[in-house]
Chain A
Amino acid sequence: MRPSWILFALRDGWRRPLRSAVAAAGVALAAAAFASLLAFQRGYRNGMDAELGRLGAHVLVVPKGCPYDAASIALHGANWPCHLRPEHLLGVRGVPAVAVAAPAFMNAFPTADGGQDVVVGVTPDLLGLRPGWRIDGHFPRADDELLVGAEMAARRRWSPGQVVGMTALPGRALRVAGVLAPTGGADDSFVYLTLESAQRAFSHPGGITHILVRLRDPDLLDDAVSQLRGCEAGMDMNIVPMTHLFRTIQELVNSTRLWLGCVAVVALLVAGAGVANAVLMAVAERTREIGVLRAIGASRADVFRLFWMEALQLCVVGAASGILLAAGASRFVESWLRSRLPFAPTDALVRVEWSVAVATLAGAVVLGSLAALMPAWRASRLQPIEAIRNPEDFA
């Protein structure tokens, strides 16, 4: 029969349901912004790390032009406007710091469903960069052999040994030499041919769109980049260190993150003010009740605790709703962010995970505690004599 503090605060906190709901909704919006920001922060960093890991290269060598565009094309697949020549590959391979130099020729074709087929000509050097690849079958050895990404194979219902045709390669009968196990990256939707086969098929004999380079010692990246830029072909190529590139991209993304952060901070301040105002109004309305509670044995600390818990439960309810809102809206937020970012990894950008939920709830507890300080302190300083002076508001 004895009420618990939580029950007491919960019942009192929702005595004015509309007011409490408005205050909690403010917290929910702030929590949703906060959770989305955290989820984006984590998702983007993890996505970039995963992308870097999947690429397996320390340096990307591309034709002269924008390195960000080049990286985006190499990672996600598209048509290249210009090409490197075999002498560039020889120059790269001649650099002592280079362990593996895997040339690629990439071409992309629109499909009837609005997507695209990406065909990449490669050499077995690529396997030195992708030790995680699991192939059902084997890497293409002959001109008419394909290695198909898991997603592409599933979509087309292709399996090893099957003879297939592609609109990108009209008039050619191709045999699926192998199907790649899912990697979680863009490789899953690519089709791999031998380099020579791709160069011939797309009428660019000897053409190379990019070279993926793995170094003997990644710690000596700067030295290796200097060597590459200093080689005979160095002036004709763009040497793009992937970690530097990803770091620069992350710095570019910081402006988006900062903007989101500002929105979250403003929302948190407004929500905190809303909660403080709701609790202040409750204190004003229940002045006489506070006096009665003091008269029947509540200490100042008890009164403080009661109003502090009321604010806290408003914030916890709001934060829980906000987390659900953030999780529900994550797809929308993700597509909105993708349309505004200079480079976005293939993986989910906004990941509302348990750690994000816990951090958001913790933030709400801090917000509630701060918002409740002033009204709860004010309530605790009220004199019990008020109870007897003002009898009108009681049951």
Chain B
Amino acid sequence: MNTIDRSPSPADPVIVAAGLSKTYPRGREQVRALDGIDFAVGRGEFVAVVGPSGSGKTTLLNLLGCMDTPTGGTLRLAGREISGLSETDRTLLRRRHLGFVFQHFGLVPTLTVAENVALPRLFARRAEDGRVGELLRQVGLWDRRDHRPHQLSGGEMQRAAIARALVNDPSLLLADEPTGNLDSATGESDIGLFRQLNAGGLTIVAVTHNAALSDAAGRRLHLRDGRLA
């Protein structure tokens, strides 16, 4: 077990991983994408997960996002052990506690920016109470609210995706290469937005190759060959 960058045991952890492993079958072989890692992320932390391609960053993010299940170890999210959770409970956990930002934005092309941002509210059966407008203003897209995603720039699409991730007031924001499809100037702008959100108390875990983004984070988890380096 490799636990080089262990966190200083935060008092109020949002994430606690112990001996976390993920093994995939590939033909007759078993590929260990994550090899027994331990770490914790405290409430309000901004953590960057860095490492070379194939090091297990995305696998880790999938596990943190309850989109995949670990094959070994334990993982607690917002106080709940996820290994034994049913599909429904994992959906509810994602809906109530997690926000996702994808490298590819993942906006629905047939909906407007405002409708995209409000979409998680539809799934959560929550009424629109002005939160969408508030977030659109916060990310600077209020004037673009009725536009379709294809009418936006890459940076605007990513900001719309960030607003969508925040609309149900999650306790943890997970971002997968959020600046990966942006030019450096736009990327800087979005990094500023992440800083601002974190300063407001939001816990963020971002997988990134972007040095500026990892510099902006308060802490780095460096993965190499499925282990924390």
Contacts and interface: CB of A to CB of B under 8 A. Distances in A.
A3 B68 CA distance: 28
Given A2-B132, A296-B119, A394 B104 contact: yes
B201 to A, nearest CB: 21
B157 A395 contact: yes
Given A296-B123, A297-B123, A388-B67, A1 B61 contact: no
Contacts of A300: 87, 91
B164 A384 contact: no
A3 B132 contact: no
A299 interface: yes
B164 A296 contact: yes
Interface in A1-23: 1-5, 7-8, 11-12, 15
A147 B112 CA distance: 72
A302 B122 CA distance: 10
Interface in B120-163: 120-124, 127-128, 132-133, 145, 149-150, 157
Nearest to A390: B104
B219 interface: no
B125 to A, nearest CB: 10
B131 to A, nearest CB: 9
A11 to B, nearest CB: 4
B123 A298 contact: yes
B228 interface: no
B118 A3 contact: yes
A388 B62 contact: yes
Most buried by A among B107, B119, B133: B119
B104 A385 contact: no
Interface string A272-306: 00000000000000001101111111111010000
Given A385-B62, A395-B105, A395-B150, A297 B94 contact: yes
A295 B99 CA distance: 8
Contacts of B108: 12, 289, 292-293, 395
A391 interface: yes
A388 B58 contact: yes
B118 A5 contact: no
A297 B87 contact: no
Contacts of A388: 58, 61-62, 67, 102, 176
A1 B117 contact: yes
Interface residues of A, number: 32
A394 B161 CA distance: 12
Contacts of A395: 105-109, 149-150, 157
B3 interface: no
B91 A2 contact: no
A294 B88 CA distance: 11
A299 B91 contact: yes
Contacts of A116: none
A15 B108 CA distance: 11
B136 to A, nearest CB: 9
A37 to B, nearest CB: 36
A387 interface: yes
A1 B94 contact: no
B114 interface: yes
A383 interface: yes
Contacts of A3: 111, 115, 118-119, 122
Contacts of A394: 102, 104-107, 109
B165 interface: yes
Interface string A375-390: 0000000011101100
B226 interface: no
A35 B62 CA distance: 51
A285 to B, nearest CB: 11
Nearest to A11: B110
In this complex, the member of A291, A300, A394 whose beta carbon has the largest number of chain B beta carbons within 10 angstroms is A394
A392 interface: yes
Interface in B51-103: 58, 61-62, 65, 67-68, 87-88, 91, 94-95, 99-100, 102-103
A291 B105 CA distance: 12
B179 interface: no
Contacts of A383: 67-68
B157 to A, nearest CB: 6
A379 B120 CA distance: 18
Contacts of A296: 94, 99-100, 106, 119-120, 123, 164-165
B168 interface: yes
Contacts of A297: 91, 94-95, 120, 123-124, 168
Contacts of A385: 62, 67-68
A14 to B, nearest CB: 8
A1 B128 contact: yes
Given A294-B91, A394-B105, A5 B122 contact: yes
Contacts of B119: 2-3, 8, 293, 296
Contacts of A11: 110-111
13 contacts: A1-B115, A1-B128, A3-B122, A4-B122, A12-B110, A293-B119, A294-B94, A296-B100, A296-B165, A297-B95, A299-B88, A394-B105, A394-B107
Given A2-B119, A292-B100, A292-B108, 6 more contacts: A1-B132, A297-B95, A383-B67, A385-B67, A395-B106, A395-B157
4 cross-chain pairs, A with B, having the tightest CB-CB distances, nearest first = A391-B104, A297-B95, A395-B149, A292-B106
